[in-house]
Amino acid sequence: MVSGLILIVGILFLALGLITDLSVKKIPLKVERVIGEKLVPGFPGTRLGSLDPLLNQIMNKVPEDSIVHKYGVKLYSYESPEINALAMPGGRILISEGLLNALESENELVMVLGHELGHYNQRDHLRGLGRGLGMVVLASLITGPNSRMTDFVMTTFLSFQLNYSRAQERSADEFGVELLIKHYGHGGGSIEFFERLLVNNPHPPEFLSTHPDPENRIDHIRELIQNSGVGMGETVPFQIPAELAK
């Protein structure tokens, strides 16, 4: 009796893992947006709009056939002294005010932005939702994305954690470097931010420390820039938009 129950729970657990794995690449954008709308209010003081002109310029450099264009990406800042950036489900990129304050050039911001867009390009940003994602997809298939059931499952089982593999971070860096070079014509600003925050910092921000070997990551970025035949040109100073400055 008990072993039968354990078997059923085990099968359900495996099935949920399978659904989650499939969902990460196949989840309809509509469901993803509903999830994103649910999660964004968990971040205090989100503000939209100030950095849109820069975001639009970068979006113009994203390859035409990339799924990123389907997201209608929006860039939000949120109130937090921590240095953090997240590609939320549904195309909302959240950048903390702590990160904006730590930037020394616009190029560094474009690198961070390009990296987050890379996660949408690979559609690996949903992995951080874990098995809860499988449950949300199941609920929304059965009862619709806006149903009370889906809402309940989301509130109960979803929490967003940064959970990328080394390979995913590497591909996101590659995507970011490509956009940076297309935008500025050189690789300046691609490494400085990581160097300041990873190598010289005993407590690197969490979103950067998911990668096990920061120096490796920096070497890889440097190599990408060398291989593309461009140098490290001069960077553009970054000014925090007046409405975000405190």
- Residues forming contacts to Zn ion in the complex (CB under 5 A) are 169, 172
Nearest approach in angstroms of CB 156 to Zn ion is 27
Q: Which residue, 106 or 169, has its beta carbon nearer to Zn ion?
A: 169
Partners of 205 in the β-ladder: none
CB 116, CB 126: distance < 8 Å: no
Nearest approach in angstroms of CB 111 to Zn ion is 11
Nearest approach in angstroms of CB 6 to Zn ion is 37
Nearest approach in angstroms of CB 21 to Zn ion is 19
Single out the residue of 154, 71, 64 nearest to residue 116, CA to CA. Answer: 71
Structure tokens given for 227: 């291989």
Q: Which residue, 129 or 172, has its beta carbon nearer to Zn ion?
A: 172
Dihedral of CA atoms 201, 207, 213, 216 in degrees, nearest 10, equals -90
Partners of 85 in the β-ladder: 95
Q: Number of H helices and number of E strands within the chain?
A: 11, 4
Q: Which residue, 108 or 169, has its beta carbon nearer to Zn ion?
A: 169
**Cβ-closest position to Zn ion:** 172
Q: Which residue, 97 or 169, has its beta carbon nearer to Zn ion?
A: 169
Sign of CA dihedral 54, 174, 222, 216: positive
Q: For residues 149 and 142, what is the distance between their CA atoms, to the nearest angstrom?
A: 9
Q: Which residue, 169 or 178, has its beta carbon nearer to Zn ion?
A: 169
Nearest approach in angstroms of CB 14 to Zn ion is 28
Nearest approach in angstroms of CB 151 to Zn ion is 28
What interhelical angle do 106-122 and 166-184 show, nearest 10?
A: 130
Single out the residue of 137, 172, 168, 177 nearest to residue 153, CA to CA. Answer: 137
Q: Which residue, 122 or 150, has its beta carbon nearer to Zn ion?
A: 122
